[in-house]
Structure 1
Amino acid sequence: MSTTGSAEGTLVSIGYEGKTASDLVAQLLEQDVRVLVDVRLTPLSRKPGLSKTKLSEALAAVGIGYIHHRALGNPKDNRAGFRAGEPESRARYREVLESAAASDALAHVCELLEDGAVALLCFEHNHAECHRDIVVRQLLKACPDAAVVHV
């Protein structure tokens, strides 16, 4: 049972576009995030501190867990169409989420929500242009009581 009250069961959708690693960590702390789930296919960034190893170290330093769920990533050749809102790209990503690995990852995120706020991380600032939007919708089907915050 979480003692955070309002943070319990909160899904925080966050993109690091335009942010530094310290900005990201500060925003996660403001939202009482307990675990960050990286939904990038490949958790690498040209921005300092936002690749998997450095980011997980920065999060650990402030008591936030880090998990990379590759199965929830959007294929590289699908991203431009997705950002442009192309229905085919969105349909293709929904198919990605139907895989056994993605289903397992979604179930794991639901379990994590039982212990407090969980952040979903990708690049795009605007969640509507990012596959996080579809991940959140899928999670709400499995965890209908979760609250959602877009940062």
Structure 2
Amino acid sequence: MGTSDTTTPRIAATGTVVSIGYEGKTVGDLVARLLEQDVRVLVDVRLTPLSRKPGLSKTKLSEALAAVGISYVHHRALGNPKDNRAGFRAGEPESRARYRDVLDGAAATEALAHVCELLDGGVVALLCFEHHHAECHRDIVVRRLMKARPDAAVVHV
């Protein structure tokens, strides 16, 4: 009278969001941290995926990730406008409200929905520059994702 696999309820995988900044990291450090977290897809949430740090601009980064089996997706619509970043880092409420307005736009809504779909495949990392999650717009992106996927896990690296 035990339960069999066919009668045991199964909980669907809900995915894991890894929030990571590359501040203070080399491309090698970044890739190693992503592999430690079993990341399958990296979603670049920078408005413009360029960096003065070698290997961390879009093309070189996507190549380094592909070499270890991690997919790269750039969602420009989830980027924080350049003139909003300093205020955001400083914690100014107006800057945070402005970014939330960005996420209310159609393109950002579609991008967030895509990230939710990617979570069906496992661990998804969100990448931007800032090391500290709370100083970066990734914080608000993660909060929006958690509204849509409340059972997903979040890891801040």
When normalised by structure 2's length, the TM-score is 0.91
Rg (Cα) greater in structure: 2
**Aligned length, in residue pairs:** 145
**For 1:36-80, what per-residue CA distance to the aligned partner results, in whole angstroms no more than 9, with x for missing partners?**
000000000000000000000000000000000000000000000
When normalised by structure 1's length, the TM-score is 0.95
Distance in 1 of aligned mates of 2:138 and 2:115: 13
Conserved 8 A contact 1:71-1:105: yes
Whether 1:31 aligns to 2:34 is no
Identity %: 87
Distance in 1 of aligned mates of 2:49 and 2:104: 21
Aligned Cα RMSD in Å? 0.9
**Aligned partner of 1:76 among 82, 90, 100:** 82
The residue correspondences of 1:1-151 to structure 2 (distance < 5 A) are 9-151=15-157
Partner SS state of residue 42, structure 1: coil
5+ long unaligned stretches in structure 1: 1-6
Runs of 4+ in 1 over 6 A off after TM superposition: none
**For 1:95-134, what per-residue CA distance to the aligned partner results, in whole angstroms no more than 9, with x for missing partners?**
0000000000000000000110000000000000000000
Conserved 8 A contact 1:9-1:113: yes
Shift of 1:8: 5.8
5+ long unaligned stretches in structure 2: 1-12
Partner SS state of residue 142, structure 2: helix
